[in-house]
């Protein structure tokens, strides 16, 4: 196929999955949080169950004035939301939706993924630095500190998967899960059930921190920093950040599902079936993980900044290192 | 990290709690569509029985925030029989309660010696302007219909 045509098709496909996914998760967050607090949540927008609430919110944001503070570094300030959204979108390039349905099958997939997922935090730091507001600055710096602390457990947890699978390509990792035989028996299970349960937990905690979601939302922390790096943003740029947060949930959940839950693969389905059903299987797993994220958000209180750092450096990183050693040990022995 | 029991027990307890709330029916009452029935002795609004009022001003004087405005005059009633005495009766001209000031203490209802004031459970009389919260005696009389029957006397 023509390169440019293929590029357009891939970009459209990624947007067609990611933006509705983000809207569904926003709506899920509204409804699930409401029911977890014995409320109903949105009820009237769109007729039934208030399904149009995220769209109505988006339209409302678009009507707002796009303010740039006098003290802001205007060009950086205006660019920041796009960088955040870009970093999130870029992770989708290598997510496999089926044996042949992958936008780009990079051999260094996992490496690329961990590299571009840090881009969003750069955008957050840009936003905090350029806003000309002390709360935004502290928020941006907190986000940077959080990224440095939690990128390590995230990478180390993913390394254990790469060791077990013997490849960095995401499609290779899914195939390794589909073909690995447990103790010589003809049983194939995703990695979360075959030795990576600790790695999965570390990855989930670290990805919550990467997404700055409660209980790791110190960069935003309304009660201390008004809204952190979001304080000065309004209108379409705020929408970008908002969408970026939820699109980030989709991408992080998709990565976690691919690495630990078998991605598009379900036991007992052939490649032909998976090429059609794969996207739906992956999206189901993504939504389950997103539900877990939302559930945690509405249960746990925010950590303090020093608790956040000690959790990463004193607990997650040592445990992740031990996890790598054990994974490598079992890989060699069996 | 948890105080006692196995590690992370506190986190799991919290998640169990939110999941329980998630599975239960929400307690929200969708107000304009569905309404809760107020309890029988609810202090919704004060109703006035004009016939019982003697313009004694006790309620207006006892009102802690002075939200009751009363005006009246004396009327002469001609004698019922020839050569009888001319009687006077107090006639109520104005009886307004400013519900923007009222704090629903109920002292006026308690203090009224002729049982002219009653509590009604009706609560749907909000207005767009604070000045429209001043309700006159006609409006107060309308609410008399919503006053519930007094409870039976204790034997």
Q: What is the mean pLDDT of chain A?
A: 83
Paired tokens of A160: 């254990």
Q: Quick one: which of A125, A123, A173, A121 has its CA closest to A151?
A: A121
Q: Quick one: which of A121, A325, A136 has its CA closest to A207?
A: A121
Burial degree of A169 (CB within 10 A; 0-12, 13-18, 19+): buried
Q: What is the pLDDT of residues A151-197, one digit of tens each?
A: 888 888 888 888 888 888 888 888 777 777 666 666 677 776 677 88
Q: In A, which residues are within 8 Å of B24 by CB distance?
A: 38
- Whether the CB of A179 is below 8 Å from some CB of chain B: the reply is no
- Whether the CB of A35 is below 8 Å from some CB of chain B: the reply is yes
Mutate which of B22, B28, B29, B34 to test chain A, going by most A C-beta atoms within 10 A? B22
Q: Quick one: which of A68, A80, A61, A203 has its CA closest to A139?
A: A80
pLDDT at B128: 92
- Contact (CB<8Å) A38/B14: no
CA-based nearest residue in chain A for residue B18 = A36
pLDDT at B66: 92
User: Average pLDDT, stretch A55-74?
Assistant: 86
Contact B77, B16 (CB under 8 A): no
- Cα separation, A303 vs A296, whole angstroms: 13
On the CB side of B37, CA atoms within 13 Å amount to 4
- Assign B71 to helix, strand or coil: strand
pLDDT at B107: 92
- Contact (CB<8Å) B15/A36: no
User: CA of B1, closest CA in chain A: separation in Å?
Assistant: 10
Contact A32, B22 (CB under 8 A): yes
Can you point out the beta strands (E) in B41-144?
Answer: 45-48, 68-77, 87-98, 117-120, 134-135
Mutate which of B9, B10, B13, B18 to test chain A, going by most A C-beta atoms within 10 A? B18
- Contact (CB<8Å) A40/B28: yes
- Does the interface predicted TM-score (ipTM) exceed 0.90? no
Q: In B, which residues are within 8 Å of A291 by CB distance?
A: none
Q: What is the pLDDT of residues A216-270, one digit of tens each?
A: 887 777 777 877 788 888 888 888 888 888 888 888 888 888 888 877 777 777 7
- Contact (CB<8Å) B21/A36: yes
pLDDT at B1: 47
CA-based nearest residue in chain A for residue B16 = A299
The dihedral formed by the CA atoms of A247, A252, A255 and A258, expressed in degrees to the nearest 10: -90
User: CA of A269, closest CA in chain B: separation in Å?
Assistant: 32
Query: Considering chain A, what percentage of its residues have pLDDT values greater than 70?
Result: 96
User: Average pLDDT, stretch B91-99?
Assistant: 90
- Whether the CB of A197 is below 8 Å from some CB of chain B: the reply is no
Residues of B with CB under 8 A from a CB of A: 11, 14-15, 17-19, 21-22, 24, 26-28, 30
Contact A136, A232 (CB under 8 A): yes
Q: In B, which residues are within 8 Å of A40 by CB distance?
A: 26, 28, 30
pLDDT tier, B3 (very low <50, low <70, confident <90, very high otherwise): low
Q: In B, which residues are within 8 Å of A49 by CB distance?
A: none
- Whether the CB of A32 is below 8 Å from some CB of chain B: the reply is yes
Contact A231, A131 (CB under 8 A): yes
Mutate which of A42, A43, A299 to test chain B, going by most B C-beta atoms within 10 A? A299
Looking at the predicted structure, is the pLDDT value of residue B135 above 80? yes
User: A223 versus A135: which is more confidently predicted?
Assistant: A135
Q: In B, which residues are within 8 Å of A38 by CB distance?
A: 21, 24, 26-28
């Amino acid at each position: 196929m023509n390169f440019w045509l293929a590029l357009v098709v891939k970009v459209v496909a990624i947007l067609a999955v990611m933006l509705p996914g983000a809207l569904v998760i926003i709506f899920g967050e509204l409804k699930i949080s409401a029911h977890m607090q014995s409320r109903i949540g949105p009820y009237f927008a769109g007729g039934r169950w208030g399904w149009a609430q995220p769209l109505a919110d988006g339209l409302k944001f678009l009507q707002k004035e796009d303010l740039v503070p006098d003290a802001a570094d205007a060009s950086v300030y205006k660019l920041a939301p796009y960088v955040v959204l870009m970093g999130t979108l870029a992770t989708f390039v290598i997510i496999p939706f089926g044996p042949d349905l992958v936008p780009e099958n990079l051999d260094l997939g996992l490496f690329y993924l961990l590299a571009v997922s840090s881009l969003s935090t750069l955008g957050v730091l840009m936003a905090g630095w350029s806003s000309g507001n002390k709360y935004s600055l502290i928020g941006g710096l907190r986000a940077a500190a959080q990224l440095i602390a939690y990128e390590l457990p995230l990478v180390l947890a993913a390394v254990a998967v790469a060791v077990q699978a013997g490849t960095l390509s995401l499609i290779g990792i899914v195939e390794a899960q589909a073909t690995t035989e447990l103790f010589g028996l003809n049983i194939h299970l995703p990695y979360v059930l075959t030795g990576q349960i600790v790695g999965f937990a570390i990855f989930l905690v670290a990805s919550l921190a990467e997404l700055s979601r409660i209980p790791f939302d110190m960069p935003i922390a309304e009660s201390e920093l008004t809204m952190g790096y979001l304080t000065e943003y309004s209108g379409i740029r705020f929408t970008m950040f908002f969408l970026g947060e939820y699109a980030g949930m989709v991408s992080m959940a998709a990565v976690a599902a691919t690495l630990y839950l078998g991605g598009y693969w379900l036991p007992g389905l052939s490649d032909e079936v998976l090429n059609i059903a794969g996207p739906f299987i992956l999206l189901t797993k993504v939504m389950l993980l997103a539900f877990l994220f939302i559930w945690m958000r509405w249960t746990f209180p925010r950590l303090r900044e020093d608790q956040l750092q000690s959790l990463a450096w004193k607990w997650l990183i040592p445990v992740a290192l031990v996890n790598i050693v054990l994974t490598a040990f079992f890989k060699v022995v069996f | 990290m948890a105080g006692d029991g196995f590690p992370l027990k506190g986190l799991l307890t919290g998640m169990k709690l939110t999941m329980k709330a998630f599975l239960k029916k929400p307690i929200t009452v969708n107000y304009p569509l569905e309404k809760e029935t107020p309890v029988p002795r609810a202090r919704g609004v004060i109703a006035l029985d004009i016939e019982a009022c003697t313009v004694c001003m006790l309620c207006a004087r006892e009102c802690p925030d002075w939200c009751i405005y009363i005006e009246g005059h004396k009327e002469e009633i001609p004698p019922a029989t020839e050569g009888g005495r001319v009687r006077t009766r107090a006639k109520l001209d104005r009886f307004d309660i400013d519900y923007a000031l009222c704090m629903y203490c109920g002292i006026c209802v308690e203090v009224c010696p002729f049982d002219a004031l009653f509590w009604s459970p009706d609560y749907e009389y909000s207005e767009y302007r604070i000045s429209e919260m001043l309700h006159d005696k006609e409006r107060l009389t309308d609410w008399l219909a919503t006053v519930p029957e007094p409870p039976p006397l204790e034997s």
